[in-house]
Amino acid sequence: MLHALYEPELGYYRQPADRPTDAGDFLTAPETHPIFGWTIARRIEQMWAELGRPRPFHLIEHGAGSGTLALSILEGFRRHDAGDLLEAVRCVPIESNAYRQADLIRRFEEAGLAHILTPSAVGVAGVVLANEYVDALPFHRVVRRGGELQELFVAWRDGFVEVAAEPSTPQLAERLADVGVADRLADGQVAEICLGLESWLTGVGIHLARGYLLVIDYGYEAAELYGPRHLAGTLLGYRGHRVQEDPLVEVGLTDLTAHVDFTALRLLGERRGLRSVALTTQAEFLVAAGLESELQALQASPATTVADYMRARSGIVRMLDPRHLGRFRVLTLAARPAAAIPQQDRG
């Protein structure tokens, strides 16, 4: 999976084509309509205020793509007259695809915002964002057979095939035990396990001394993710907005993902000193953050045409749809002492 996604020039996330668009392989919420970013901007404005309005305030985005989410958040600050925050904010886009990085820099330049781009940040105050990023991190696959855990490897026999054998590392069984599902996998059940979460969260902790981590992605708590509804696991390939049933064909041209284990993310984050604030669906998160007010403000603006309004509404329908983006989960973790977290925010 590491090679299929990241092999220089050949891996899916190294290709020149822009994927999270209408013409690409999938459409993410921020690409659907900027009202997603404007609404997240509202939540970030609250976070900034709760933290005592630190300057600079870093917006560190993992899997930033070509900057659509970051730019819509910055536009949100402007729409909400949050000029002080716009002055304080420094953007740190973290993106493995060189073509997307170049697009992002060009778009920031066009928006007159290139001066707020910063290549790195260590020990800063701010918000770390990861929208549809964690599901792209490479994972292991396991299967439980006759009470034993086996790992599913990929071999070449005139084509890629799946081969079950002894797990490559005890960390796989340890993770399942950690999230409380070691004995709950049914015979024959397949499961995905992302061991990269540990080092990713360690990196987040290094970046963020004070602030919040927001993870938005497909996924469930472990009991549901590894429960009877997902006996075949959740590995999927996407190509041209179609699900690619066999992830071992068109390798490098297909996006490979699996649902995120939000229990593991929370537990591992807590072990690194991050505190759990809330885990909600994306629909709940957006509504609580003020999506409706955002739509009303758009409607009230004399510059808004009927077509603009209809576009925003249809974007919102997708973002809230419980069968699609609305069922995504949003995990908020805080990097700061418990005493500093307002009571109503504790999850």
Ligand X SMILES: C[S@@+](CC[C@H](N)C(=O)[O-])C[C@H]1O[C@@H](n2cnc3c(N)ncnc32)[C@H](O)[C@@H]1O
**What does each C-alpha distance from 255 to 22, 100, 258 come to in angstroms?**
15, 16, 10
| Nearer residue to ligand X within complex by CB, 199 or 301 | 199
**Smallest gap, in angstroms, from Cβ of residue 99 to ligand X?**
9
| Nearer residue to ligand X within complex by CB, 5 or 185 | 5
List the one residue from 1, 4, 11, 20 that touches ligand X (CB under 6 A): 20
Query: Which residues in the 78-107 window bind ligand X by CB under 6 A?
Result: 94-97, 100
> Quick check: 177 and 93 in contact, CB under 8 A?
no
| Nearer residue to ligand X within complex by CB, 30 or 167 | 30
| Nearer residue to ligand X within complex by CB, 48 or 133 | 133
> Quick check: 236 and 136 in contact, CB under 8 A?
no
**Smallest gap, in angstroms, from Cβ of residue 12 to ligand X?**
8
List the one residue from 11, 30, 205, 247 that touches ligand X (CB under 6 A): 30
**Smallest gap, in angstroms, from Cβ of residue 276 to ligand X?**
22
| Nearest partner of 215 among 137, 125, 133, 271, judged by Cα | 133
| Nearer residue to ligand X within complex by CB, 45 or 95 | 95
CB 9: neighbour CB atoms within 10 A? 8
> Quick check: 66 and 18 in contact, CB under 8 A?
yes
**Smallest gap, in angstroms, from Cβ of residue 60 to ligand X?**
12
The burial class, CB within 10 Å (0-12 / 13-18 / 19+), for 289 is buried
| Nearer residue to ligand X within complex by CB, 218 or 220 | 218
Q: Quick check: 197 binds ligand X (CB under 6 A)? A: no
* Length of the chain (residues): 347
| Nearer residue to ligand X within complex by CB, 97 or 282 | 97
**What does each C-alpha distance from 65 to 15, 103, 197 come to in angstroms?**
12, 8, 20
CB-closest chain residue to ligand X: 63
Q: Quick check: 13 binds ligand X (CB under 6 A)? A: yes
Segments of 122-259 assigned E as strands? 124-131, 140-145, 148-156, 160-165, 190-193, 208-217, 219-220, 236-239, 242-244, 255-257
Q: Quick check: 237 binds ligand X (CB under 6 A)? A: no
**Smallest gap, in angstroms, from Cβ of residue 147 to ligand X?**
35
Query: Which residues in the 109-148 window bind ligand X by CB under 6 A?
Result: 131-133, 136
Residues that contact ligand X, how many (by CB under 6 A): 19
**What does each C-alpha distance from 344 to 23, 277, 278, 283, 341 come to in angstroms?**
42, 9, 10, 19, 8
Q: Quick check: 291 binds ligand X (CB under 6 A)? A: no
**Smallest gap, in angstroms, from Cβ of residue 255 to ligand X?**
7
* Residue span 60-79 as binding mask against ligand X, x where in contact by CB under 6 A, dash where not: --xx-x--xx----------
| Nearer residue to ligand X within complex by CB, 60 or 142 | 60
> Quick check: 256 and 247 in contact, CB under 8 A?
yes
Beta strands 329-335 and 275-281 are antiparallel
**Smallest gap, in angstroms, from Cβ of residue 189 to ligand X?**
27
| Nearer residue to ligand X within complex by CB, 67 or 290 | 67
**CA torsion, ordered 225, 227, 229, 231, to nearest 10 deg:** 100
The region of 23-31, 140-148, 150-158, 183-191 touching ligand X under the rule CB under 6 A is 23-31
> Quick check: 189 and 141 in contact, CB under 8 A?
no
List the one residue from 1, 31, 214, 269 that touches ligand X (CB under 6 A): 31
Phi and psi dihedrals of 208, rounded to 5? -105, 110
| Nearest partner of 95 among 125, 121, 119, judged by Cα | 119
Chain residues in the site for ligand X (CB under 6 A): 13, 20, 28, 30-31, 62-63, 65, 68-69, 94-97, 100, 131-133, 136
